[in-house]
Structure 1
């Protein structure tokens, strides 16, 4: 759920739009400058809107915008994880793996062939294992707090989906090569750390991440869902009239996977 992610049916077209038709089922990301996704009708930019395959639901389409693209881009573009299964030499850690981004990140890393260690709360361990994680650690345990792999793996890529953690908390668990901690919730502190590492040519890198919506990426994700290679974990669906309750649940961090707002019937 977000005020920028949406999926539905095309009911109108702007001037010169020829790649879509009235009645097309689509998924889109409106962008933070436009927003407006929590509504019965929304304006979707053509550059970040794609047609959904027939077997991809509106719930799936709405969930993929920020969370799916963030997981894909952080792993592929920053972590050098290839989706063809050839990254079987990589060890990946996904923190807060039961969240919207984390559930997708675990699956995409496994599509790449990586060995995946994940952290989450104890109630979600079985879920994250079912998504393909090789090792799952309760973040409240001493091992989880230190991001330790139960088998002693050292990580080439960390997809950090939780609140800010100092780089030093990850460093003992990183591989000796050019390992990266990709911070999906960047803060001023992480920006300072990243800048300093760049100036000193550090071998390990803290990488602040910002998602860039791309229609090709959203289409790729929709196709992965259509092919049964990617699963959307839905915490709950809530009618638009109760959107505030759903939003608060997401903010409070009490949800597993995505919270989706529904508007009527597709």
Structure 2
């Protein structure tokens, strides 16, 4: 491979899933003003990655083909662009890449300084790469639910669905930093894991009570962090909510938005709140520090070499990962 070339995985059209991925040699990108060039050490995949390939956000993304997917990375700074003040070559970092450019499934990638944070030695590349989208989504969902992570405020009863998944496993841990009672749902094989993350009650979603989201202790939920990719009807949530209970919907679709509007227009005390995460440097740095302090951990489902990125992509498409799926050059 030429000195200025790198190995990457890309796709050139919508659809095709794993079959659409191609291994290529492309030029190593250059850091422009306000950017840093990273040697990638780990990239974590998110459902958003395959949704973009599927065309869910067309025609907005990808901006152009071919497209190298992957937005959550950890690595080492190789070069810095003009105006970069906080980083230098050799620094270990975690970065959130913009959806427009992405590029995580490559040996090198350019990241904006404004979305890059320092990664202390206590945080591995794989652990750090899991944080940007999944960790920040979990954190902002809990904020919307009224949870104060310093433990202040009244106790809240929370339900976290798909609690062993990428977002859910962070949400359980973060919720328990606050004054909360957490009921969580997951598959039978992950009941012990979710309990170990701090959940007070764990439901197998394949059981009748799990499907009905009923708390074993009979509590009503002040908030639900709805992480499940599939649709759970409002009629399932409603009887389990407290008087002013709300559902924070992390995968909103047309039905969710209709429910949101109906609840608003009818002045219902029970609300559905669609949430799209705002990936930002402040929240990312906060989460990295929590990992450093041992207050948060990234559960890693599996690690895959970049040369076998198709395996990681297939695992992500399957939708049953426990924690985060990691690709490593």
Q: Name the TM tier (shorter chain).
A: over 0.9
**Greater Rg over alpha carbons, structure:** 2
Shift of 1:115: 0.3
Shift of 1:87: 4.4
Does residue 227 (structure 1) correspond to residue 296 (structure 2)? The answer is no
Contact persistence 2:201–2:215 (CA under 8 A)? yes
Q: Which residue of 1 aligns with 2:222?
A: 156
Indicate which of 37, 40, 45 corresponds to 2:112.
45
Shift of 1:201: 1.6
Indicate which of 49, 59, 81 corresponds to 2:126.
59
Paired residue total: 261
TM-score by length of 2: 0.78
Unaligned runs of 5+ in 2: 1-43, 46-69
Per-residue deviation, residues 142-174 of structure 1 (Å, max 9, x unmatched) = 000000000001001100111221211100000
Q: Which residue of 2 aligns with 1:32?
A: 99
Contact persistence 2:165–2:320 (CA under 8 A)? no
Unaligned runs of 5+ in 1: none
Contact persistence 1:239–1:262 (CA under 8 A)? yes
What SS does structure 1 have at the residue aligned with 2:148?
coil
Does residue 81 (structure 1) correspond to residue 81 (structure 2)? The answer is no
Per-residue deviation, residues 90-137 of structure 1 (Å, max 9, x unmatched) = 001000001010000000010112000000001100000000000001
Q: Which residue of 2 aligns with 1:181?
A: 247
Contact persistence 1:246–1:259 (CA under 8 A)? yes
Does residue 209 (structure 1) correspond to residue 275 (structure 2)? The answer is yes
Name the Cα RMSD after superposition. Answer: 1.0
Q: Which residue of 1 aligns with 2:84?
A: 17
Contact persistence 1:194–1:207 (CA under 8 A)? yes
Shift of 1:65: 0.9
What SS does structure 2 have at the residue aligned with 1:211?
coil
TM-score by length of 1: 0.96
Contact persistence 1:92–1:116 (CA under 8 A)? yes
Q: Which residue of 1 aligns with 2:41?
A: none
Does residue 119 (structure 1) correspond to residue 218 (structure 2)? The answer is no
Contact persistence 1:121–1:140 (CA under 8 A)? yes
Within 1, Cα distance between the matches of 2:113 and 2:235? 42
Q: Which residue of 2 aligns with 1:252?
A: 318
Shift of 1:254: 2.9
What SS does structure 2 have at the residue aligned with 1:12?
strand
Shift of 1:31: 2.2
